[in-house]
Structure 1
Amino acid sequence: MANERNDMGSDEKDSAGSADTTRSLTAGLAFSDRMEALLDGRVTVAGASLDIICRPPQALFRSVLRDQVYDICEFSLGSHIATVAAGGSNYVGLPIFLSRAFRHGNVYVRADRGITTPRDLIGRRIGVMDFHQTAAVWVRGILADHYGVERSSIEWITGGLSAPVLEDRAPLDLPPSLSVTRSPQTLNALLEAGAIDALISPTAPALFVRGDPRVARLWPDHRTAESAYFHETGIFPIMHLLVLKRQRLDEAPGLPRALYTAFETARQFACADIAQRDYPKIASPWLMADRAQTLADLGADPWTYGTSANRTALEAILRYAEADGLTKRRLSPEDLFADVQGDDGLPPMDGQNGR
């Protein structure tokens, strides 16, 4: 999918954009159905042409923090919170939430250590890829809020999952009550050797994939736990957002609104596409049944963008980030998007801006 452009000539282009493009922008995105209409040209960005490069999320996140090679980029919400708290970066946040996921199913434990409940994690060593990885921020918050497992009761070990990563994604300035150590070994190796008792990872560890009985999910029936969490809190956790280079915002103040409109329209195309299909779009024989169950659990529009519709989730992760020491004060959702709404004259980025 690399280097595909969305300026294809077509009578079916959506009114979210215009074929009369005037500005070329590079966009680093992880592939998903929510941006497929931007890749195939059904949706364009008013006043701009996107050169979309699809890459794995971890590569995109480090690019934003270190290389700044993309004009717009998919980015970790946890890392965005940390950079805003540290005084900002070369990018500004847009309330376009490209990835969301429940994370109960991403906690793996050494079952042979007698870990069968969340409270069994107290006093243990837990591996995470980065301390401000968004998945880890959510899991730490859920463990503390719902199970009484405080962050300070855990020894946190950071490292690459299957290849060594010798430095943090971004500098950390954490309170002394938190123990965080980066390991030169991989988390997979540490889990296999028993050097960590548990692992928080969106990607299943190698031992679990191989069916090793020593490793299990903390919540074996994680879908039931996640559904219960949603019904209790109303939160479908946000993982990634879109960020825009400040230089491009300075050059074109209307660009955030154009991007929001285009990405919202592409999202609506994706939702409509699943609903209208009479054959599976992906290799899942029960795709439509899964969709029906998802809508029954979460409601008609769980992937919505904008700050107002997502205030509960944003306020929760900001509270968790403060407790993690990633922020020195409680940020508000408006702090995350302060450069693109309010006093800059743009309309609030909250409405339904699709077709």
Structure 2
Amino acid sequence: MTVSTLSLSAGLAFSDRIEALLDGRVDVDGATLAISCRQPQALFRSVLRDQTFDVCEFSLGSHIAAVAAGNGAYVGLPIFVSRAFRHGNVYVRTDRGIASPQDLAGRRIGVIDFHQTAALWVRGILADGYGVERSSIEWITGGLSTPVLEDRATLDLPPSISVRRSTQTLNALLEEGAIDGVISPTAPALFTRGDPRVARLWPDHRAAERAWFGDTGIFPIMHLLVLRRRCVETAPRLAKALFDAFDRARQLASSDLTDRDYPKIASPWLMADRTRTLAELGGDPWSYGVPANRAALEAILRYAEADGLTKHRLAPEALFADLAGADDLPPSSGPQ
């Protein structure tokens, strides 16, 4: 039987982890990907509202909430194309007496979206490590530099957690002093221009992140890939084929940093920084798949339950398509 090649649209944020798929060094078995590189926030809203792409990079926090709410248009793949430590993404007003994480209790803190994965991790870190409960903070949501008037998805949170969307930007609120701080992967404008009114909560954030990793062994997952559910249903091998291709592209990205005789990126100390990072984190910090990432997934699912994004604790396997046993299924001609 001849199996047709699937043509799939893919929305991804550019990174070295997908470069080999863009330049043709890696193909997806049985499928071709038409890749469009977009900014993450645009990709996330396209999944939740427009369902633009067959394969799409997506916020892990929003995916957890979508699974809990029974939104089944997409299924997750344990392909974690974005990870980042987040201690360095907490910015506070320096005139509010905030000298430690515990001082955030009773404050008004801005986040781009309550589903945002970076904020989900930070809320868990604050609760676990410093006793700062979610309910002790008033959460103000809004676009960082451009107004965003709607949540990514409907929130159904416990009454103890206060979330209010602002028509103003978080940058404006921070500058006016209407909020005490911001959790944001992109630094607020006051910080980037060196205004002394704003500083990082953890000034030596790398040391704080290294210590947290030493305590937990977790390199936080930010984004995963999701695949349109009907593609999984009609082409059962597709999820595994995508996993294999993206994992191969990830391995090539790692090789590119060490095997070339010239720097892959514009960093004069790239090799020294990479050697130091691998020594600090050990093993392969960018690994894909559930088994290698169970501790991180269990932690963020615990945080999501505490945040009210899920009504009960989800198991990691509930987030993803089943990759096991796909090779034992009969051939599929793919989506029609």
> Same fold by TM-score, threshold 0.5 exceeded?
yes
Q: 2:25 aligns with which of 42, 56, 73?
A: 42
Residue matched to 1:53: 36
The reply to whether residue 224 of structure 1 matches residue 204 of structure 2 is no
The reply to whether residue 329 of structure 1 matches residue 309 of structure 2 is no
Conservation of the 8 A alpha-carbon contact between 2:11 and 2:35: yes
TM-score by length of 1: 0.90
Conservation of the 8 A alpha-carbon contact between 2:86 and 2:118: yes
Q: 1:146 aligns with which of 129, 132, 136?
A: 129
Conservation of the 8 A alpha-carbon contact between 1:92 and 1:340: no
Q: 2:258 aligns with which of 272, 275, 289?
A: 275
Residue matched to 1:108: 91
Question: Which range is displaced more, 168-177 or 111-120?
Answer: 111-120
Conservation of the 8 A alpha-carbon contact between 1:46 and 1:258: yes
Q: 2:285 aligns with which of 296, 302, 325?
A: 302
Residue matched to 2:174: 191
Unaligned runs of 5+ in 2: 329-336
The residue identity in structure 2 corresponding to 1:163 is T
Residue matched to 1:66: 49
The residue identity in structure 1 corresponding to 2:252 is F
The reply to whether residue 78 of structure 1 matches residue 61 of structure 2 is yes
The reply to whether residue 87 of structure 1 matches residue 70 of structure 2 is yes
Distance in structure 1 (CA, Å) of the matches to 2:56 and 2:169 = 27
Aligned-CA RMSD value: 1.3
Distance in structure 2 (CA, Å) of the matches to 1:50 and 1:289 = 35
Distance in structure 2 (CA, Å) of the matches to 1:346 and 1:228 = 40
Identity among equivalent pairs (%) = 76
Task: Give the SS at the match of 1:113.
Answer: coil
Residue matched to 1:17: none
Task: Give the SS at the match of 1:212.
Answer: coil
TM-score by length of 2: 0.95
The reply to whether residue 234 of structure 1 matches residue 217 of structure 2 is yes
Over residues 41-72 of structure 1, what are the superposed CA-to-partner deviations in whole Å (9 max), with x where a residue is unaligned?
A: 00000000110000000000000000011000
Distance in structure 2 (CA, Å) of the matches to 1:75 and 1:257 = 18
Conservation of the 8 A alpha-carbon contact between 2:240 and 2:323: no
The residue identity in structure 1 corresponding to 2:140 is I
Distance in structure 1 (CA, Å) of the matches to 2:277 and 2:84 = 12
The residue identity in structure 2 corresponding to 1:81 is I
TM-superposed deviation, 1:327:
0.1
TM-superposed deviation, 1:89:
2.5
Task: Give the SS at the match of 1:112.
Answer: coil
Conservation of the 8 A alpha-carbon contact between 1:135 and 1:239: yes
The reply to whether residue 135 of structure 1 matches residue 118 of structure 2 is yes
Residue matched to 2:241: 258
Over residues 158-213 of structure 1, what are the superposed CA-to-partner deviations in whole Å (9 max), with x where a residue is unaligned?
A: 00000000000000000000010000000000000000001000000000000000
Conservation of the 8 A alpha-carbon contact between 2:237 and 2:327: no
Distance in structure 2 (CA, Å) of the matches to 1:177 and 1:96 = 34
Q: 1:314 aligns with which of 288, 293, 297?
A: 297
Distance in structure 2 (CA, Å) of the matches to 1:282 and 1:56 = 20
TM-superposed deviation, 1:254:
0.3
Task: Give the SS at the match of 2:109.
Answer: strand
Task: Give the SS at the match of 2:268.
Answer: coil
Could you list the runs of 4 or more consecutive aligned residues of structure 1 that deviate by over 3 angstroms after TM superposition? Answer: none
Change (3 A) 1:21 1:265: farther
Conservation of the 8 A alpha-carbon contact between 2:28 and 2:245: yes
TM-superposed deviation, 1:340:
2.6
Q: 2:322 aligns with which of 317, 328, 340?
A: 340
Distance in structure 1 (CA, Å) of the matches to 2:4 and 2:34 = 12
The count of aligned residue pairs is 326
The reply to whether residue 179 of structure 1 matches residue 162 of structure 2 is yes
Task: Give the SS at the match of 1:340.
Answer: coil
The reply to whether residue 170 of structure 1 matches residue 153 of structure 2 is yes
The reply to whether residue 247 of structure 1 matches residue 247 of structure 2 is no
Distance in structure 2 (CA, Å) of the matches to 1:72 and 1:37 = 17
- Does 1 or 2 have the higher relative contact order (CA < 8 Å, sep 6+)? 2
Unaligned runs of 5+ in 1: 1-19, 349-355
Conservation of the 8 A alpha-carbon contact between 2:239 and 2:323: no
Residue matched to 1:13: none
Distance in structure 2 (CA, Å) of the matches to 1:346 and 1:331 = 23
